[in-house]
Chain A
Amino acid sequence: MQSEAVAADASPDAGASPEAGAAVRITGLVKRYGAKTAVNGLDLTVARGSVTAVLGPNGAGKTTTVEICEGYRRPDAGTVRVLGLDPVADAARLRPRIGVMLQSGGIYPGARALEMLRHTAKLHAHPLDVDALAARLGLDSCGRTSYRRLSGGQQQRLALAMAVVGRPELVFLDEPTAGLDPHARHATWDLVRDLRADGVSVVLTTHHMDEAEELADRIAIVDGGRVIAEGSPEELCRAEAANTVRFRSRPGLDLASLVKALPEGSRASEPTPGSYLVEGAVDPQLLATVTTWCAQSGVMPERLAVERHTLEDVFLELTGRDLRA
């Protein structure tokens, strides 16, 4: 049921030379906390200049994986290279080159928003213009507000600004849009797109399938501490394959002649009386075949709908549960 594109160890490619140029290269990563195995043989390669979404439910091992890349924890097994460096042994060389947004917190409660952003800029050699960045993320209006008095969304955007202000080569964003309203969410997405356009590599974790679909060049679906599927959003959604056409008409139509007209590998069924389902590689030709058959049969296909597989469906198929569970 899995195509090649979603096989567990699909080719990591995307860049011209992933071996040499990978922003992140993780092989066989294992991390245990006591008796609990948080990451269990995870492989992931992030091409330079790409946006990679690590998608998975809570407890899948996303944050642990990202925090190992950031040098916060040592792996129990496996190797991790970030920009070609060991995140723990080469921490002093790596830290100026990466930007980090933690899942929450990380800022002095009494520090004012702009004060904190300006401070972070001072720790870097060639920071972005602080005022322009603050304005772009809507932080200028609350620049003199202390962190503890910022709204949740403003706190998130400040943490994001702090992650990118040092002009890093690689940015790790741990659930960057959790709790954001739609405007702020789009501002965050726009910034991520600009980062990629300017050659910055981005690794982000998310529960939001639409976010992964919207932003990511590559998506790694993580569950139980492993990558269970990996590919571009299109590959994962199998845009061409296994989609469905639904319509309603009078019950009891003879589907045998429809199946005969459909291409190889397609199926037609009537799950409930009067409700019809055609499954297969849905393309304009297939749709035309269905409607032509309807015309020949003298029936009107009502509520005709073409349904694509969503990442949600993919995730449900792979894990048997909801992404947000």
Chain B
Amino acid sequence: MTATDLSRADLSRADRARADHSPAPGAAPIGRMLRAQTALETSMLLRNGEQLLLTVVIPSVLLVLFSAVDIVSTTGPGARVDFLAPGLLALAVMSTAFTGQAIATGFERRYGVLKRLGASPLPRWALMTAKTGSVLVTEVLQVALLSVIALALGWHPHGDPLAVLLLLLLGTAAFSGLGLLMAGTLRAEATLAAANLVFVLLLLAGGVVVPLAKFPSAVRPVLEALPISALSDGLRTVLQNGAAMPWGDLGILAVWAVLGLAAAARFFRWE
């Protein structure tokens, strides 16, 4: 399809019914703008094949693979899936809020999407709110899918659903801040490379599928302070062991969230 498909017929038809372009400016109500932007951001995210690979396929495959095959030795009570499911829920949050959001936002910045939206009536805070909304919608779908798979594999979750919700939300805030910081400061290609590298490193060293207990004790305190470790450990504490509020892990996530979001707000460049 080329530009020449704009035929004479198109033009003469347009001439017959000339529209009125007289000025009638004005921003739409903020609720309508927020709904529209959230819907658009969500469909952009779900339509992107690479994003779906990262957010849906990889966590699901890892869950099935490691539950079925004795590649890594798990720890804690219950079946292998009882150790793995919380870790892969944490991975799902990281894949969407951090990796996916960083890459998508980095390229939106590169392609001038953020710049163009900056000249629209949509306020910047509303754009960021919409992005957060689309991340949360995606996470709901991820959690639902992973839970169904895990339950089919014999998962027996325990604990307080409120604690789980709080962990997921704080984890999302922490990873969003770091992802947006990366997207708003690095070149899009650098963000793509770095976000994928961080994803793989944290998948291996963040207590997602490999218990942190397997790492040398010298590096363990460092690994335990990572947001992915706090999230997977917190989720495991609740879902696998049925413990009450994991305040330590929540605290680590809260610190990352505040630091990440503050740095992103300070250093984010829109162009």
> Which residues of A are in contact with B by a Cβ distance under 8 Å?
70-72, 92, 95-98, 100, 102, 104-111, 115, 119-120, 122-126, 128-129, 132-133, 135-138, 141-142, 145, 149-154, 157, 162, 164, 166-169, 180-181, 183-184, 186-187, 190, 194-195, 198-200
Contact = CB atoms under 8 A, between A and B. Distances in A.
Interface residues of B, number: 48
Nearest to B118: A72
A198 B24 CA distance: 11
B129 to A, nearest CB: 14
A150 B27 CA distance: 28
Given A111-B44, A164-B21, A124 B26 contact: yes
Contact of B116 (A107, A129, A199): A107
Residue of B6, B33, B108 most packed against chain A (CB within 10 A): B6
Contact of A136 (B2, B19, B22): B19
A180 B18 contact: no
Interface stretch (B120-128, B153-161, B175-183, B222-230): B120-128
Contact of A169 (B23, B33, B44, B48): B23
Contact of A199 (B7, B22, B113): B22
Contacts, number: 165
Nearest to B36: A122
Given A96-B121, A151-B1, A106 B14 contact: no
B115 A168 contact: no
Interface string B7-19: 1101101110111
Contacts of A195: 21
Contact of A124 (B1, B3, B10, B27): B27
B27 A106 contact: no
B28 interface: yes
A132 B3 contact: no
B4 interface: yes
A194 B36 CA distance: 29
Contacts of B28: 122-125
A105 to B, nearest CB: 4
Given A154-B1, A199-B23, A200-B23, 13 more contacts: A97-B23, A102-B116, A110-B47, A123-B120, A126-B26, A129-B19, A162-B116, A166-B121, A183-B7, A184-B6, A187-B10, A198-B20, A200-B22
B221 interface: no
Interface string B34-49: 0011001000100110
B40 A109 contact: no
B3 A198 contact: no
B20 to A, nearest CB: 6
Contacts of A142: 1, 5
B77 interface: no
B256 interface: no
Contacts of B24: 125-126, 167
Contact of A133 (B19, B26, B123): B19
Contacts of B21: 128, 164, 167, 194-195, 198, 200
A168 B111 contact: no
Contacts of A120: 120
Contacts of A119: 36-37, 40
Contacts of A145: 1
B27 A105 contact: no
20 contacts: A71-B119, A98-B25, A100-B120, A105-B113, A105-B115, A111-B44, A128-B19, A132-B17, A166-B121, A167-B23, A180-B3, A181-B3, A183-B6, A184-B6, A186-B11, A187-B11, A194-B18, A194-B21, A198-B21, A200-B21
